[in-house]
Amino acid sequence: MVGDVMRTTKLIFTIAIVTACLVGCGGGGDTPPTGTVDAGPPMTTSGPYQPLTVGSTWTYKVDDQGFKYDKTSTVETLEDMGGAKAGTMGYRVRENVKSAMQLTWYDQSGTEVRRHHDQFFDDQNRQLSDEWYAPFMLRVDEAPDHMQSGATWSLDFVNTKTTSDKPTAMLNHTEGWKVDGVDVVVGVPAGSFYSLQVTRTDSGDGAVKTMWFVKGVGKVKELTNAGHLEELSSYQIAP
């Protein structure tokens, strides 16, 4: 009788240890992915590094120098961009930025996803700024020579910006791009992925932004030298 009780107690104790390890031991010694979140083994995905389909949404956990909030990006429609880019069709993306809202128009041209136009509104839906990029700002480029680790290139563009309290200004920009790595494992709240890691540096103001893109998913992480961090927490890619 005593022996049966001891064996039963030992079995329960063993099950408790195994269960605790399955929950908290992290997969039995696998090396955690590079990133701020241990999200398990990386997923294998396919498709473009920046999908642009109407109805697709991405939600990010944002830490902007200590100010934390959730940002959602949604592809709303495909439309004529009008203005300086009249006749060019673009995908309009809506994002909440802190308590304000931003609209951005992108198009897909060959291997490039290009950013052409931004509008920024306050929480009362009053327009604060309007910006055009000529010929464009680059989002991501899947040209074969730009998909190699260590690849570098530069892009010149003019930013024409109008704000609610200042006259229109035109600024010249030169951005340097570098591929930090291909198939870099990155962990974010949405999971662990193989990613394309690129860094973009503006030679004018010294702004540096590193981004991680995942095939068929889009941008999963962003980190700037100004202390701005974004990490993907959920997403839905429309067909």
pLDDT of amino acid 166: 87
Strands (E), 189-225: 191-202, 208-214, 218-224
- Domain spanning 35-236: CATH 1.10.357: no
Helix ranges restricted to H, the chain: 2-24
| 6-20, 72-86, 113-127, 186-200: least confidently modelled range | 6-20
Query: Residue ranges of the domains in the chain?
Result: 35-236
Burial of 129 (0-12, 13-18, 19+ CB in 10 A): middle
Mean pLDDT, residues 191-209: 95
- Band the pLDDT of 208: cuts 50, 70, 90: very high
Query: What single DSSP character describes residue 84?
Result: G
Measure the CA dihedral 119/123/126/130, to 10°. Answer: -20
Angle of CA points 30, 12, 8, to nearest 5°: 145
Strand, coil or helix: 42 = coil
Residue 17 pLDDT level (bands cut at 50, 70, 90): very low
Mean pLDDT of all residues belonging to the chain: 87
Arithmetic mean of pLDDT, 13-29: 33
Residue 37: pLDDT over 70: no
Q: Is the pLDDT of residue 161 over 80?
A: yes
